[in-house]
Structure 1
Amino acid sequence: MAISNSTTTNDLQAYRASVLHFSNDPAFHQQAFAWHEDGLLIIRGGKVQAAGDYAQLHASLPEGCVVHDYRGKLIMPGFIDTHIHYPQTDMIASPAPGLLPWLDTYTFPTERKFADPAHAGEVAHFFIKELLRCGTTTAMVYCTVHPESVEAFFAESEARNLRMVAGKVMMDRNCPDFLRDTAESGARESEDLIKKWHKRGRQLYAITPRFAPTSSEAQMQLAGELARAYPDTYLQTHVAENTDEVAWVKSLFPQARSYMDVYDHYGMLRPRSMYAHCIWLDDADRVRMAETQSAVSFCPTSNLFLGSGLFDFERADALQVPLSMATDVGGGTSFSMLQTMNEAYKVARMGGTYLPALRVLPATLGGARSMQLEGTIGNFVAGAEADALLPTYCSAPV
C-alpha cells in the first residue's frame, strides 16, 4: 500500500517495521543504504521526523502515541517512475513490429480521445489509482497534445495531494492532423499550463516535446526558449530508443552530430531534463548528459517489448550519467516498478553486466536525484515528504 502526504495529518504517526531506505547510489558507494530490522518511522504533518531503530527512537514518542505494528514486514519510500504515458493506459502491451508502427497503429488513435475532458478525467482517475496500487507515489507523466488532458491529470493528482510531474505533448509535424499543434500554439498552451500548475501544491510541470521527429525546428526552438525562461520546470522527451528512429532523426536534422545533439542545439540539456531510453547513444552524448546533469530514464520493460535494444549500464556508469528507472506504460507492460526492476536485471545480464539486488532496488533515491528532488522525496531523511510504502495488513497497535 502506498501512502503519501495526502493521507497524513498534523498528528504524530509512528510505524514499527523493518525500514529500508537509501542515502547514496550502491553503484558507487559501499554504505549506500540504511537497514533497520526492527525499525521505527515517525511522521508529523506529512513530513518524516525520524527513521531508525525502534529501540533507539521509541522513547522519543509522547505518551499515548499509537505505534502501528508491522513487525515482520517492510516499509520503504514510495517508488518514483520517471517516464510514463497516462493516455496509453487502455492500450498497454499492444503488440507491434517496432516503435514507429506502434505509434501509428495504437498510440495516436488512442490519444485522440483526450480532447474530451470527461474521458481524460476518467483515465486519469484509474491511472493514478493503479500507480498507487503498485507503490508508485511520484511519476513524470506524458499527457497528450490537448491541454484538457493536462488539466484532467493535475486535477486528479491535486485532489490526492500527490507529487506529480506532467506536461502537454508538443507535436507539430509527422503526426496525424487530429494530434497536431503549431510551434506557436504548443508554446503558448505550455506556458499557460506552467503558470497555472507549476509548483501549485505538489504539482510540477514538464515541458514536453514528444520527440525530435514530431517537432519542427521552430517548435524545438520555442521549447528551448521555454526551458530557459522557466529554469525550475522539468523537460521530458525521448531519445535514441530505436535504430529506425535514430536514422529518421538523422534525415530530419542532418546538421546534428547525433540525436542527442539535436536537443543540445536547442538548449534542452540541463538539470531537471529527463531523456527516456538512451539506448543508441555514444560516449560524447553521455559526457554531455553528465556535464549538464541531464538524466536517463531507463525503461527496460518497454525496450524489451518493442525490441528496441539493451541499455548500456557499463558506459553510463563509467561516465556517471544520472540514471533513473521507469515503466514507460503503455509500451511497458506493467505499472509495477518491482516488475520493471526484474526486467532491468535481465537487460543488464544480456548486455554483460551484473546488477546486484541493491543496485536495481533504488527506484526511490535514484529517481529523486535524477529529478533534483533529493531531500524532498526518495528516502526517509528528516524533513522529507512522507511518501512511503506500507504493508497492506497491520496488527494491533503497540
Structure 2
Amino acid sequence: MSTAPIAQQAYRASVLHFHADPAFFEDAYRWYADGLLIVAGGVIVAAGDYASLAASLADDTAVIDYRGKIICPGFIDTHIHFPQTDMIASPAPGLLPWLDTYTFPTERQFDDPQHGAAVAEFFLDQLMRSGTTTAMVYCTVHKASVDAFFGASQARGLRMVAGKVLMDRHCPDFLADTAEGGVRDSEELIRRWHGRGRSHYAITPRFAPTSSPAQLALAGELARAYPDTYIQTHVAENCDECNWVSSLFPAARSYLDVYDQAGLVRERAMFGHCIWLDDDDFSRLAASGAAAAVCPTSNLFLGSGLFDFERADARGVLLSLASDVGAGTAFCMLQTMNEAYKVARMKGSYLSALRMFYLATLGAARAMRLEGRIGNFAAGVDADFIVLDPAATPLLARRTGGCEKIEELLFALAMLGDDRAIAATYAGGRLQWQRA
C-alpha cells in the first residue's frame, strides 16, 4: 500500500470527537450533526459544521458523503496480543492454566518468520475491520515476531506500539531467553524500529513471575537509556497470580512495587488489568504518569475480577480500554465498551457512553502520551478515523432511529454494536478497510 501524501479530501457525516474527559467536564466533546472533516497530507485540517466549512474547500476537493453515519477518531486498544489471534476463545479454568495449555504452545510457532508474517497480516485485518487504528501489541520472545508485526503495520502506514516479550524463568524452555539476551535483543529492536515511520517500541516483560529480578533490573536500565520508549506488562490481574508474585518477591510492598523497584513505573508505561491494586498502588500510578489498560472482556472470560473505575478515578489514574485478545474474545472496542459498562455497574459505578468513547479515543491517546498525534480531530493530528453506521443491523437501525440525544445513540452503539457497525476505517488519511 502506498503511503505517499494525498491531496485534500473531505468527509461529510455526523462528526464526534473529544477534548476532555466527560466524567469530569460537561463540555468535553464536539458533536456536529451535519459535520465535515477535512484532511490533507495524512493529517486533520479542520472538523466542524458542514455549513461553516464547506466554503473553505478547494474547488477540486473530493467530498465523500457518509451522511447518516458518524465519523469519530479511530479506536485505540492499549493491550492486545497479536500471537494469540489463533487461540482466541480457548477454554481454561483460570489465567495460569490458560497460559500453560494454550498460550505458550501457540507462541512457540513464532520462531518461524513466515508464520509470524501471516498472523500479523490477519491480525491487522481484524483491527481495521473493527475500527482500531492504533494498538499496544505484545509479540513473542522471538525477534522475528516483532519484525513481522512492524513490517506489516508499517506497510499499511499505521501508528502502532509493539515489543518482544521478555521471559527468562517459569516458562517452557522453548520460550525462555536469558536476562541479558532478552534485553540485548530488545535494544537491537528499539534501534531497528522505534521512531521509524509511525512505529514505537515497548519494553515488554510478560509479567513479573516470568522475569527474574535480574531481567527486570536490566529492563529498567533499558527504559532509562531510552526514555521515549514505551513499557508494557501485566499487573494484579488474578488472585493466584498475585499470591505467586508475593512469594517470588517477598521484599516488595506490592505487585506494582516489583516493577517500581526495577524502574519500570513511569510515563509511557501501560499496565494491563490493575484489578487487585490497593490505594497506594493507584496513587503511585497517578504520580508517576503511568497508565492502566482496563481489559473487561478478558477479566470476565478468565474470572479474574472487576476493575474499580471509581477508585482509580478518585486518585487520578490515566485510564484506557483494551480488548486483551486472545483472553479477550472480541477485537472490536464497541464490544469492549459493552463489557466495561457491565463491570462498572457490578462495582457500583456508572460509565456513560460518552466516557467510554473518550476512553477508547482521546483518553487512550493521553494515557500513551500521544495527544496531539492521535485521538481527536484537532488541526495537525494524524487523520486516523472511522465511520460508524448506526443502522448496521436491523436491531441497531430500529433502536437508533428513535434516539434523540447523543448519549442514547452512542450507548446503543456500545451495547448493540460490533464490527458490523464499522463502515470504514482510515489511517493517515488513507482508506484501510471498507464494509462491502
The question of a shared fold, defined as TM-score above 0.5 by the shorter chain, is answered with yes
Counterpart residue number, 1:82: 78
Partner SS for 1:390: strand
Q: How many residues align?
A: 389
- Cα displacement string for residues 146-196 of structure 1 (whole angstroms, at most 9, x for unaligned residues): 000000000000110100000000000000000000001001000000000
Of 239, 250, 255, the residue aligned with 1:254 is 250
Whole-angstrom distance in 2 between the partners of 1:320 and 1:30: 18
Whole-angstrom distance in 2 between the partners of 1:355 and 1:195: 40
Whole-angstrom distance in 1 between the partners of 2:16 and 2:144: 39
**1:106 pairs with 2:94:** no
Counterpart residue number, 1:36: 32
Whole-angstrom distance in 1 between the partners of 2:113 and 2:7: 37
- Cα displacement string for residues 57-92 of structure 1 (whole angstroms, at most 9, x for unaligned residues): 111011232211111111010000000000000000
Counterpart residue number, 1:335: 331
Partner SS for 1:308: coil
Whether the 8 Å CA contact 1:154–1:203 is kept in 2: the answer is yes
Q: More displaced, 69-78 or 376-385?
A: 69-78
Of 381, 384, 389, the residue aligned with 2:381 is 384
Q: TM-score, normalised by structure 1?
A: 0.96
Whether the 8 Å CA contact 1:324–1:367 is kept in 2: the answer is yes
Counterpart residue number, 1:66: 62
Counterpart residue number, 1:184: 180
**1:321 pairs with 2:317:** yes
Whole-angstrom distance in 1 between the partners of 2:29 and 2:148: 37
Displacement of 1:6: 6.8
Partner SS for 2:34: strand
* 1:381 alignment partner AA: A
Partner SS for 1:379: coil
Displacement of 1:359: 1.3
Q: More displaced, 321-330 or 5-14?
A: 5-14
* 1:140 alignment partner AA: M
Displacement of 1:10: 2.8
Of 249, 254, 276, the residue aligned with 1:280 is 276
Counterpart residue number, 2:397: none
Change (3 A) 1:114 1:40: same
Whole-angstrom distance in 2 between the partners of 1:365 and 1:127: 23
Q: TM-score, normalised by structure 2?
A: 0.88
Whole-angstrom distance in 1 between the partners of 2:351 and 2:387: 26
Counterpart residue number, 1:169: 165
Whole-angstrom distance in 2 between the partners of 1:77 and 1:314: 26
Whole-angstrom distance in 1 between the partners of 2:190 and 2:357: 32
* 1:54 alignment partner AA: Y
Whole-angstrom distance in 2 between the partners of 1:6 and 1:137: 17
Change (3 A) 1:8 1:58: farther
Whole-angstrom distance in 2 between the partners of 1:150 and 1:373: 21
Displacement of 1:7: 6.8
Whole-angstrom distance in 1 between the partners of 2:71 and 2:238: 37
Counterpart residue number, 2:116: 120
Partner SS for 1:343: helix
Change (3 A) 1:76 1:8: farther
**1:312 pairs with 2:308:** yes
Of 2, 9, 15, the residue aligned with 1:19 is 15
Partner SS for 1:361: helix
* 2:267 alignment partner AA: P
Whole-angstrom distance in 2 between the partners of 1:144 and 1:285: 28
- Cα displacement string for residues 90-133 of structure 1 (whole angstroms, at most 9, x for unaligned residues): 00011111100000000000000000000000000000000000
**1:374 pairs with 2:354:** no
Displacement of 1:356: 1.3
Counterpart residue number, 1:95: 91
Whole-angstrom distance in 1 between the partners of 2:59 and 2:248: 68
Counterpart residue number, 2:427: none
Whole-angstrom distance in 2 between the partners of 1:32 and 1:49: 20
Displacement of 1:8: 7.5
Partner SS for 2:209: helix
Partner SS for 1:16: strand
Whole-angstrom distance in 2 between the partners of 1:114 and 1:169: 12
Q: More displaced, 258-267 or 60-69?
A: 60-69
* 1:388 alignment partner AA: F
Whether the 8 Å CA contact 1:6–1:162 is kept in 2: the answer is no
Whole-angstrom distance in 1 between the partners of 2:201 and 2:2: 19
Mapping of 1:195-206 within 5 angstroms? 195-206=191-202
Partner SS for 2:127: helix
Partner SS for 2:263: coil
Higher relative contact order, structure no. (Cα contacts within 8 Å, ≥ 6 residues apart): 1
* 2:84 alignment partner AA: Q
Q: Percent identity?
A: 70
- Cα displacement string for residues 197-216 of structure 1 (whole angstroms, at most 9, x for unaligned residues): 00000000000000000000
- How big is the alpha-carbon RMSD for the aligned residues of Structure 1 and Structure 2? 1.1
* Runs of 4+ residues over 3 Å off in structure 1: 5-9
Whole-angstrom distance in 1 between the partners of 2:129 and 2:118: 17
Whether the 8 Å CA contact 1:174–1:214 is kept in 2: the answer is yes
**1:356 pairs with 2:352:** yes
Whole-angstrom distance in 1 between the partners of 2:6 and 2:28: 31
Whole-angstrom distance in 2 between the partners of 1:118 and 1:57: 48
Displacement of 1:361: 1.5
Whether the 8 Å CA contact 1:240–1:246 is kept in 2: the answer is yes
